[in-house]
Amino acid sequence: MRRLFLVRHAKAEPAVGRDDYDRALTARGRDDARRVAGVLAEKNVLPDVLIHSGAARSKETAEIFAAQWRRKVELQEELGLYDATRDMLFQRMRALPDSRVRVAFVGHNPGLGDLAGSLAGSGAHSELRRMAAKFPTCGVATLDFRVRHWDDIERESGLLALFLTPAELEAGTD
């Protein structure tokens, strides 16, 4: 089995007057990232590696996640995740080394949300609908695939095992 975590970066500063790539997280974004990472740790749903786009907001999100977990998680930067389309992310996922079983991409919309929607073929209907409606900042989709190799994954073959958002934590429905 393979498990893919798709993590949209947490809430970032507006792009006004700055390079989009350099936008840092807001205080709310940092708090959301800590809370979401904490719930993943409580559920023992953790990746082995967090691959982020290198953009300030995705890197900071990945660093906050890793800092919240007792088990060491490797951080990797991959510039190709920045502004990546669904198809680019799909190809990158299929090229993952088979030695990695649980991998997280920490990136950006619309590509990340589009990829999650195209991979999820089953799961709780309410979660699938919620994810299709909106993939918010600091949202995490966890998808399971019953395959031996990453390059065996096809569209709509994943089970949406978890869709976690900061808003549901605020509502107390985690």
pTM: 0.95
Q: What is the pLDDT of residue 156?
A: 97
Q: String of b and e for 34-62 (b: at least 16 CB within 10 Å)?
A: ebbbebbeeeebbbebbbbbbbbbbbbbb
Tokens representing 44 are 């023992």
Which residues sit opposite 52 in a β-bridge? 77, 106
Backbone angles phi, psi at 8, to 5 degrees: -80, 135
Domains of the chain: 2-171 (3.40.50.1240)
Half-sphere exposure of 41 (CA within 13 A, CB side): 16
Displacement of CA 102 from its chain's centroid (Å): 12
Q: Is the dihedral of CA 150, 145, 137, 129 positive or negative?
A: positive
In order along its 174 residues, the chain shows pLDDT tens digits of 999 999 999 999 998 877 899 999 999 999 999 999 999 999 998 999 999 999 999 999 999 999 999 999 999 999 999 999 999 999 999 999 999 999 999 999 999 999 999 999 999 999 999 999 999 999 999 999 999 999 999 999 999 999 999 998 876 644
**Beta-strand runs (E) in 114-156:** 120-123, 140-145
